[in-house]
Amino acid sequence: MGTTLGIGSSLWAAGGGEHHGLSWLGMMVYIALVLGIVFFALSRAKQDFGQRVFKGFWSQLLEQVYLFIENLCVGIIGAHGRKYIPFILTFWLVIFVSNVVALFFPTSPTADLSFNLGVALIAIGYVQWEGMKANGVLGHFKHFAGPKLPPALLLISFMIFIIEIISEVMKNVSLSLRLFGNIEGGHQAVVAMNNLGGSFVPVGFLLMPIKILTCIVQALIFSLLTCVYLSLVTHHEDDHHHDEAGEPAGHSEAQPAAAH
Amino acid sequence: MTGHVFGLGIGLAAMGVAIGLGLIGYSAMQGMSRQPEAIGKIQTAMLIALAFVELVFLLAVFVLPGSLKV
């Protein structure tokens, strides 16, 4: 695949074998691209800082992106999800830009399983860290053992613990494999369609709409699942808040019953 | 021989996943048309379920060749 574009073929590893991923230089160029987008957004947003509403085209567009991620975080995690917005927004930006890069170039970071596994490890590791911060280290591991069972069923709890640990590890695999499979599968489909059209007709171009849809949905799903995992490990804290907030209402309902 | 088994397995996996995705889309659309005000929540849940069903096919594609040693 690396030979279709003559220039800059050192941006992706053109070597034989199974590996079609980026080279180090390509990865650096990609990181520079994402950082450029971030700094562009910051510079545009800074121009509109003094005004009451955002008037510039770019700042309005980026505000919509921010609101989209904010809705995702607050809608799934709850009110305390606001502090995860930078984290989720970074993931969304990196994965979305990488997916869009895949539309124009022979390869992209997310069409490489190593990059996806790295991103997924960061995401799941951060989820563990947040779980330990919310519930304490022991509380976080107790959370794996499922509901509280009587001592006679200790073996069941232990088995639940093992299965939960395995599923926690598999979360990395599932996050990375899903992204890799969708993007790389799209590439393979385009290659197959191009072979179908012979040397002159690029039939694979007809797959462009569904590939754009895949790009958007996969970036969304990665951020969404990270949000869901975060909400799963931190929602105990939220439950306590609900209990405390619910107690006065419960008392006011209980008092008339007691008066009768 | 293993190539044939692999092809059959991929076909079966694709069929099952297609049925699953169709069911998800079917019920999500039904729910959305019945309660248009809940579209946001239904879409979120739909995407999550969709991602998990889709993963089964990807696992079949990427794990089956390794287990069959094609």
Q: Assess whether pLDDT exceeds 60 at residue A260.
A: no
Q: Assess whether pLDDT exceeds 80 at residue A171.
A: yes
Q: Quote the pLDDT of residue A78.
A: 84
Cα separation, A92 vs A90, in Å, equals: 5
pLDDT per residue over B4-44, tens digit each? 777 888 888 899 999 999 999 999 999 999 999 988 889 88
pLDDT per residue over A114-166, tens digit each? 889 999 999 999 999 998 988 888 888 888 887 777 777 888 888 888 998 99
Q: Name which of A75, A76, A225 is nearest B51 (Cβ-Cβ).
A: A225
Q: Phi first, then psi: give them for residue B56, nearest 5 degrees.
A: -60, -40
pLDDT per residue over A26-46, tens digit each? 788 888 999 998 898 888 878
Residues of chain A numbered 23-52 and touching chain B (CB < 8 Å): none
Q: Scanning every residue of chain A, which has its alpha carbon at the shortest distance from the alpha carbon of B53?
A: A178
Residues near A90 by beta carbon (within 8 Å), at least 6 away in sequence: none
Q: Quote the pLDDT of residue A128.
A: 92
Q: Scanning every residue of chain A, which has its alpha carbon at the shortest distance from the alpha carbon of B50?
A: A221
Q: What is the pTM of this model?
A: 0.79
Q: Scanning every residue of chain B, which has its alpha carbon at the shortest distance from the alpha carbon of A178?
A: B55
Which residue, A37, A107, A109, A73, is CA-closest to A228? A73
Where does the pLDDT of residue A3 fall: very low under 50, low under 70, confident under 90, or very high at 90 and above? very low
Q: Assess whether pLDDT exceeds 50 at residue A249.
A: no
**H-type helices in A105-153, by residue range?**
113-135, 137-144
Q: Assess whether pLDDT exceeds 50 at residue A259.
A: no
Residues of chain A numbered 58-77 and touching chain B (CB < 8 Å): 71, 75-76
Specify the residue for token string 């990609």: A30
Percent of chain A clearing pLDDT 70 (strictly above): 82
Residues of B with CB under 8 A from a CB of A: 40-41, 44, 47-48, 50-52, 54-55, 57-59, 61-62
Q: Assess whether pLDDT exceeds 80 at residue A49.
A: no
Q: Which whole-number Å values give the CA distances from A5 to A10, A11, A30, A103, A207, in the listed order? A: 11, 11, 17, 14, 20
Percent of chain A clearing pLDDT 90 (strictly above): 21
Nearest-CA distance from A174 to chain B in Å? 7
pLDDT per residue over A133-146, tens digit each? 888 888 888 888 87
Nearest-CA distance from A185 to chain B in Å? 9
